[in-house]
Homo-oligomer: A and B are copies of this chain.
Amino acid sequence: MKMSPLVMSAVIHFGEMGSRWGFNRTVGQMLALVVLHEEPLSAQEIADALSISRGNTSMGLKELQAWQLVKQHHIPGERKEFFVPAGSIWVLANRVFEERRKREIDPTMSLLRDLMMDTPNSEQDVNVQARLNEIHDLLESVTAWSQELQNLGPEKLDTLMKLGAGVGRILEFKDKLLPAKSK
């Protein structure tokens, strides 16, 4: 398998970005390759295309599977396993968000809850707890809302986006719109 210059550029870029998105360079490259290549790829093909060791490839694929970004694909008559993207771009993007939320937000929310339980030892600590509480609530809002977006799916997200600043206005009307809401 050989990469066209187009695929090449994209693979290299996703490698560079990889670390910013929560995985390392080679894992980023592998993901780009699998997503952009139409046919299922074997581990060996991936290793060759990216010039990385077979061992590294194996670990990278394991990680991509843990993130549920690629999945195995068996080809009848073939001994080895092949790999394909685990879903549409939208699905993959959601998986990345989800996984990052688990790593970046959840542990903090959990700690903040614990710290807010502690009985404060001083005046100072009362204020500190108030701040921690503020952080907690903000994270909660943001994650709840991003969940919501994921549930909407891409089309509705698109509608919402086209609405743009209209969202603010809509909010002002919402009581009239949904008067039956149980408060």
Q: How far is the CB of A173 from chain B (nearest CB, A)?
A: 6
With an 8 A cutoff between CB atoms, is A51 at the interface? no
Q: CA A149 – CA B142 in complex, angstroms?
A: 9
Interface check A87, CB cutoff 8 A: no
Residues on B with C-beta less than 8 A from A134 are: 89
Give A120-148 as 1s and 0s: 1 = Cβ < 8 Å from B's Cβ atoms.
11101101110110110010011011001
A111 nearest CB neighbor, chain B only? B13
Contacting residues, chain B, for A167 (C-beta < 8 A): 148, 152, 160
Does A104 count as interface, using CB distance less than 8 angstroms?
yes
Q: Is A169 in the interface zone, CB < 8 Å from B?
A: yes
Tell me which of A2-10, A41-49, A62-70, A71-79 binds B. Answer: A2-10
